[in-house]
Structure 1
Amino acid sequence: MKIRTKITIQFSIVVAFILAVFSMAIYFISENYRQQEFYNSLKDKAVTTAQLLIKEPQIDKKLLKVIDKNTLSTLYPAEVLIFNDSNQVAYSNFEADTIWYSPDLLNRIRVDKHVETQFNEKQVVGTTFQDSLQNSFVVLARAEDIYGQEKLENIKDTMIVGYLGAVLLTILLGIFFSGQSLKPISEINDEISRITASDLRRKLDTGNGKDEIATLAVNFNDMLSRLNQSFELQKSFVSNASHELRTPLAAIKSEIQVALQKERTPIEYKETLETLLSDNQRIIKLTNSLLQLAKSENNEEDVLSTELRIDEILFKVQDEMQHAHRQYQIMIDFEEIPEDIAWVTVRGKDTLLKTVFSNLIDNACKYSANQLAEVRIHFDAQNCYVRVKDSGIGIPDEELDHVFEPFYRTNNAKSYNGSGIGLSITKRIVKMLKGKILVKSKVGEGSEFTVELPHL
């Protein structure tokens, strides 16, 4: 079911329910008012008849009947009965062979002084009356409110017609206004249907920029921007990865072709194999870097599941790096000794943190003439900081903003072995760990990378 139809149905049901409740309330109020008004009229009729008959001696019963019949009133023909103390009919304004009455009702009227009830679809009013001699009488007046019933029936018919007309008008207006309200969404759908994978830079119209639909369009445009950025990054990744892999593979191919051109001595074959091994190790290292880069884009679920001490991770990295590169010098120290190990304990994964600090320490040693990396640990109330400093070639100011891009290498670093992936991987892992990485550098003086991670 379309949203337009659903909104119309829901709106029509709500309005129909409200109108039904309102109409029934009016009907029952009108009915209650009609009954009360008719009871009051019957009471006035009963009291007037009793006064004329009992307190006006010049008006006898026959004359009173004539007056009743010739009085233009909505109560005609109202039946009026007057009973004496012995429950005998003292006066009746109508002729009947038998007059039915209830002694219980008469006694109830004498006790309550005034009674309103119904009998055989007629409304009945009973009241007491006393003459000048303090004789007590009971006066009954009963009639059917034909005129009031007709008015009430007219009101009911009018309300039914009005109700059905209002519901029909509500449905039509609901269709119209829901269509108008959802028109921007329909336009957005049309625009989205024209956006393809090769046209992600296209943006949706944000309309007035204030309502929820405009917010939806803005968020969708932001999503398109992120997708376009991701696709561009993927294209760049594939292009750069292909380029980086092609170079050592081409070198291996050339070396093999040269070696096969003629017979060579065992020493020459050994030199060729050593060169091939070096190129193969370069490919393996590059492939591992690419795999790490791909893993850093995986789901961040469970990344923050383990509590780890930063100092222990750094000492493990120190052992592994110096075992692989005995010429590397790595100095690790605290700026101040922590009173609580929680200040140097973070949430993360062992392998990810080791990758972060291995990349930073390896770069510090590789780009320094003395191959020395100084690592400092400090902390504050919220975060733990690790600074990795070197005295190497440094990074030009205009290139500082690009060093974390995949495969980017500064101009003064291109003579060193590397793929330009390490810092990109490092930044992504730090971001996954809810941290930050900052860099300061001067050409010829060295660089300082600071990793900021929230501690326990």
Structure 2
Amino acid sequence: MQIRTKIALQFTLIVAFILALFSIAIYLLSENYRQKEFYNSLRDRALTTARLLITEPQIDRQLLKVIDKNTLTTLYPAQVLVFNDSNQVAYYNYEADTVYYSPELLDRIRQNRYVETAFSAKEVVGTMYQDTLQQNYVVLAQAEDVYGKQKLENIKDTMIVGYLGAVGLTVLLGFFFAGSSLKPISKINEEITQITANDLQRKLDTGNNKDEIATLAVNFNKMLSRINQSFELQKSFVSNASHELRTPLAAVRSEIQVALQKERTTPEYRQILQSLLSDNQRLIKLTNGLLQLAKSENNEEKVLDENVRVDEVLFKIQEEVLHNNPHYQVYIDYEEIPDDIHWVTIKGKMTLLQTVFGNLIDNACKYSEDKRAEVRIKANKSNCIVSVSDRGIGIPAEEIEHVFEPFYRTRNATSYTGSGIGLSICKRIVKILGGKISVKSEVGRGSMFIVVLPHI
């Protein structure tokens, strides 16, 4: 079922329900008013008859019957009965061989002084009347409200016709206004069908930028931007990965081809194998870096499931770096001893923190002539802050904003081995951990990378 039809039907059902309640309420109120009005007329008729019969001696029973028959009233033919204390009929205004009455009803009238009830299709009113001699009479008046019921029937017929007409009109207007309201969505659907994988930069029209449909278009445009960004990252990753892997693979192939051109001595083969091992290690390191970059970009890891002490991670990295590179120098110290151990404890994953600070410390040592990295730890009430400094080649000012881009390498770093993906991995991991990474640098004087991570 289309949304337009669904909205129109729901709107129609709501209006039909409200109109039905309104119509029923009007009908019941009209019926209640008719009944009260008729009962009041019966009571007045009963009291008038009793007063004429009992208090006006010049009017006898036969004359009163003639007056009753010739009275043009909506109560005609109303039947009036007057009973004395002995429940004997003192007067009745209609011809009948036998007068039927209920002694229980008369007793109830004497007890309550006034009773309204119904018998068959007729309404009945019973009331007490007292003459000048303090003698009590029970007066009954009964009649069928033919004219009132006809009016009520006309009201019901009119309301049914009006109800059906209103519901029919609601259906038509519901379809019209639902279609008009959903027209912008139809336009959005048309625009979406024209967007392809090669045209993700195209945006939807946001209309007045105020209503819910405009909000939908804005959010869809944001989603398109994120998808386009992901596609661009994927393209960049594939392109750069292919480029970076091609060079060492080509070198390995060349060395193998050269080795196979002629017979060589054992020391020569050993030298070639050492060179191949070096290239293989470079490939492994590059491949691991690419895998880490892909995981960080796809956010595949659940990284906020451990409490990790940053200082312990740094001392562990120091031990590993010095073990693998004995000529490196790594110094770690606190700028201020934290007041609380939780100030250097973060929510994260130890392997990811090792990747971040391992890359930063390794870079600091690699790009410095003295192979020295200085690490400083400090904390405040919100964050744990780690700075990694070196006295190396530095970064040109115009290139600082690009150093965190995947596979980007500065001009003065091309003579050093590397793939240019380490800092981009660091930035992505720090972002996942809810922190920030920045750099201060001056060419020829060194660099300082600052990592700010929220602690627990």
| TM-score exceeds 0.5 | yes
- Residue deviations 1:222-272, cap 9 Å, x none? 111111111111111111111111112222223333333444454444443
The 3-state SS of whatever aligns with 1:237 is helix
Partner of 1:403: 403
- Residue deviations 1:37-63, cap 9 Å, x none? 000000111111112222222222222
- Residue deviations 1:269-320, cap 9 Å, x none? 4443333332222222211111111222344553111111111110110111
Partner of 1:72: 72
Give yes or no for contact 2:348–2:433 (8 Å, CA) kept in 1.
yes
Partner of 2:295: 295
Out of 281-290 and 266-275, give the one that drifted further. 266-275
Within 2, Cα distance between the matches of 1:265 and 1:132? 154
Within 1, Cα distance between the matches of 2:204 and 2:395? 40
Seq. identity, %: 73
Within 1, Cα distance between the matches of 2:58 and 2:436? 113
Partner of 1:12: 12
Out of 105-114 and 199-208, give the one that drifted further. 105-114
Partner of 1:150: 150
Partner of 2:103: 103
Evaluate the alpha carbon distance shift between residue 325 and residue 289 of structure 1 in structure 2; reply closer, same or farther with a 3 A threshold: same
Within 1, Cα distance between the matches of 2:331 and 2:226? 40
- Shift of residue 162 of structure 1? 1.5
The 3-state SS of whatever aligns with 2:96 is coil
- The amino acid across from 2:130 in the alignment is Q
Give yes or no for contact 1:300–1:432 (8 Å, CA) kept in 2.
no
Within 1, Cα distance between the matches of 2:168 and 2:85? 62
1:322 aligns with 2:322: yes
Partner of 1:419: 419
Partner of 2:130: 130
- The amino acid across from 2:78 in the alignment is A
Out of 385-394 and 275-284, give the one that drifted further. 275-284
Partner of 1:333: 333
Structure 2 counterparts to residues 41-120 of structure 1, below 5 A: 41-120=41-120
1:165 aligns with 2:194: no
Within 2, Cα distance between the matches of 1:410 and 1:73? 111
Give yes or no for contact 2:53–2:59 (8 Å, CA) kept in 1.
yes
Out of 371-380 and 390-399, give the one that drifted further. 390-399
Within 2, Cα distance between the matches of 1:274 and 1:308? 39
Q: Which runs of 5+ in 1 are unaligned?
A: none
- The amino acid across from 1:250 in the alignment is A
Within 2, Cα distance between the matches of 1:243 and 1:138? 115
Structure 2 counterparts to residues 382-393 of structure 1, below 5 A: 382-393=382-393
The 3-state SS of whatever aligns with 2:297 is coil
The 3-state SS of whatever aligns with 1:297 is helix
- The amino acid across from 1:148 in the alignment is G
Out of 338-347 and 270-279, give the one that drifted further. 270-279
- The amino acid across from 2:6 in the alignment is K
Evaluate the alpha carbon distance shift between residue 376 and residue 250 of structure 1 in structure 2; reply closer, same or farther with a 3 A threshold: same
Partner of 2:238: 238
Structure 2 counterparts to residues 268-279 of structure 1, below 5 A: 268-279=268-279
- The amino acid across from 1:422 in the alignment is G
- Shift of residue 350 of structure 1? 1.4
Out of 52-61 and 355-364, give the one that drifted further. 52-61
Within 1, Cα distance between the matches of 2:117 and 2:226? 79
Within 2, Cα distance between the matches of 1:232 and 1:134? 108
Q: Which runs of 5+ in 2 are unaligned?
A: none
Within 1, Cα distance between the matches of 2:86 and 2:26? 45
- Shift of residue 68 of structure 1? 1.2
Give yes or no for contact 2:399–2:410 (8 Å, CA) kept in 1.
yes
**TM-score w.r.t. length of structure 1:** 0.96
Within 1, Cα distance between the matches of 2:152 and 2:12? 27
Within 1, Cα distance between the matches of 2:284 and 2:110? 115
**TM-score w.r.t. length of structure 2:** 0.96
Q: CA RMSD in A?
A: 1.5
Partner of 1:177: 177
Out of 317-326 and 261-270, give the one that drifted further. 261-270
**Count of equivalent residues:** 456
1:38 aligns with 2:38: yes
- Shift of residue 139 of structure 1? 1.2
Partner of 2:352: 352
The 3-state SS of whatever aligns with 1:162 is helix
The 3-state SS of whatever aligns with 1:99 is coil
Partner of 1:253: 253
Give yes or no for contact 2:8–2:175 (8 Å, CA) kept in 1.
yes
Within 2, Cα distance between the matches of 1:409 and 1:245? 16
1:394 aligns with 2:394: yes
Out of 25-34 and 176-185, give the one that drifted further. 176-185
Give yes or no for contact 1:364–1:389 (8 Å, CA) kept in 2.
yes
Within 2, Cα distance between the matches of 1:418 and 1:396? 18
The 3-state SS of whatever aligns with 1:409 is coil
- Shift of residue 432 of structure 1? 1.3
